Amino acid sequence: MPEYMSTTAQSVWENCLSFIKDNIQDQAYKTWFEPIKAVELTDNALYIQVPSKFFYEWLEEHYVKLLKVALTKELGPSAKLLYKIKMENKLGNKLPFTEQLPSNNRSAVKTQEIDVPIQNKNPELKNPFVIPGIRNVKIESQLNSNYSFDNFLEGDSNRLARSAGMAVANKPGGTSFNPFLIFGGVGLGKTHLAHAIGVEIKEKYPEKTVLYISAEVFTQQYIDSVKKNTRNDFIHFYQLIDVLIIDDVQFLSGKAGTQDVFFHIFNYLHQNGKQVILTSDKAPVDMQDIEQRLLSRFKWGLSAEIHQPDYETRVSILKNILYRDGVEMPDDIVEYVAKNIKSNVRELEGAIISLIAQSSFNHREVTIELAKQVVEKFVKNVKREVSIDYIQKIVSDYFQLDVETLQSKTRKRDVVQARQLAMFFAKKFTKASLANIGSQIGSRDHATVLHACKTVDNLVSTDKQFKKYVDDIHKKLSL
C-alpha cells in the first residue's frame, strides 16, 4: 500500500476522532474508538480495522450516526465507511488473519402498502400502528430480517417446528398447518422461527402483507380502540393482513375482550385462506383462562414444540456463531460451554459472545479457566422462569402446609401469611398479571394480590422473623 494512502487515511481518521471525542463519554471513547486503526482511503471510502465482529456490530448499533456525521465532515456527502476485522489467531503459531466484512445480505423488510376499499361514510381506516388519515394504508411488517432460516440451525429439538415453518413459508395459508402454533420454554427460538417464516414469505411473495406483533401490544391496541370507540376499525385493519404472526399468545389469558376480538379476526382470516402463526410458552392444553372456543381453534392446525437443544445441536450452534463472526476457538472450549449451558439457546449465544468479547477487548487467550468464569456468571445470572404452581408448592412446604390449605378460605394467621408470600413471589418471579396470580392462588381478585404485596413489603422492614421467611423462600426459588 503506498505510504501517502495510509497517512491520508490516518489524518482523516484523526480528525474524525477529535470530533467523536467531543461528543461521547471518555470511557466509551477509550473502549470503542482507541483500539481502531485507519488502514486505507480510496475514493471517499475509509477502511478501518477493528478487533472483532462483535466490535463491528457494537459500533454499527450504537455509534453509526456519529461515525457518519464525522466522516461526512471530512470526506463530503458521498463518504463511505468499511470495516476490516483483524482476528487474533492464538492457535499454534499462525499469524493473525484479516477479513473484510461482507455486508448483511438481507435488506430490511420494506413497508407494505394496501389500498383499502372505502366503507360506509368513513373513508379513513385507523391503523393502530400509525396516525391514520389516508386511504392507502402503510403497514410496517415489524419483522427483523436478521432472524432468518439460514441462522436457525436444525436439530432433533426443533426439526418438526422448523420443517413445518418452511412448509408454511412456501405456501402461506395453503397448508393444513393453519394456525401454526410454536410452543416451548424461554430462549429456545420461538420468536426467531416466527420471524424467519415471515421474512421468507416476504422474499417469496412480496405482494403478501405480513405483520408480526406481540400479544401484549395487540392487547394494548385493542384497549385503545375501545377507549376511542374505533373497535370496528381495529378489526377491519387486522382483517387486511395475509400473514398474521402473534408472539406470546399466552398473554391473552384472562383478557376476555381481547380474546373475543381476536376470535373474530382469526375466523375471518382463516375462512379467507390467510395464514395465522402463533407462539406460546405452553401447549394449548396447558393454557389457563383462554376461552374454549379459541383453544379449539388453536388446535385446528399444527402445534409444534421446540425442546431444549441436545448436546450435538448446542455444539453446532456455537460453531455456527464462531464461523459467522470469523473467530476461531479450540474445540475443547466450545465443548465445555456446550456441556455446561443446557437450558436454552439465548444463554448459549450470550456466553460465547461474552468469550469473544473478553478475548478481543482484553487480548486474553481463551482458556478453559476464562470459559469457566464466563459460564459461571451466565448460569448464576439467568433467572429461571418459575411457575405459580411451583411457588405455591415451595411456600407450602416451607410452612409445612399442603397447597389445598394455602388456597382455602381460612383466615388463620399463619395460612394468610403463607398465602400472601406466595402472591408476593408470584408477582416477583413471573410475568403473570395480578388477576391471573389471584385466580391461581385460591380464586382471589387482583386487589387481594396488591394488598398481599404491600403487606409483605411492610413486614420485611419491621419484622425480623418475617424477613427471614422471605430470604429463605427467595433462596429456594433462586436455586
Q: Which residues are annotated as a binding site for ATP?
A: 187, 189-191
One-letter identity of residue 477: L
Please state, in angstroms and rounded to a whole number, the distance separating the CA atoms of residues 474 and 266.
Answer: 41
Binding site feature residues: 187, 189-191
The answer to whether the beta carbons of residues 137 and 113 sit under 8 Å apart is yes
Determine the distance from the C-alpha atom of residue 93 to the mean position of all C-alpha atoms in its chain, rounded to a whole number. 40
One-letter identity of residue 110: K
Determine the distance from the C-alpha atom of residue 288 to the mean position of all C-alpha atoms in its chain, rounded to a whole number. 23
Please state, in angstroms and rounded to a whole number, the distance separating the CA atoms of residues 311 and 53.
Answer: 26
**What DSSP character marks residue 441?**
T
Q: Residue 476: phi, psi to the nearest 5?
A: -60, -40
- Residue 86 in 3-state DSSP? strand
- Ramachandran region, residue 45 (left: φ > 0; alpha: ψ -120 to 50; beta: rest): beta
The answer to whether the beta carbons of residues 167 and 174 sit under 8 Å apart is no
The answer to whether the beta carbons of residues 251 and 219 sit under 8 Å apart is yes
- Residue 381 in 3-state DSSP? helix
Q: Dump the DSSP string for 323-364.
A: HHTT----HHHHHHHHHH--S-HHHHHHHHHHHHHHHHHH--
Write the CA distances from 7 to 2, 73, 86, 182, 293, integer angstroms.
Answer: 9, 18, 20, 55, 71
Comparing CA positions, the residue from 302, 211, 291, 300 lying closest to residue 254 is 291
C-alpha cell at 321: 456463531
Beta strands, E only, 118-273: 136-139, 180-184, 210-214, 243-247
Length reported for the chain: 479
Residue linked to cell 422461527: 193
The answer to whether the beta carbons of residues 476 and 428 sit under 8 Å apart is no
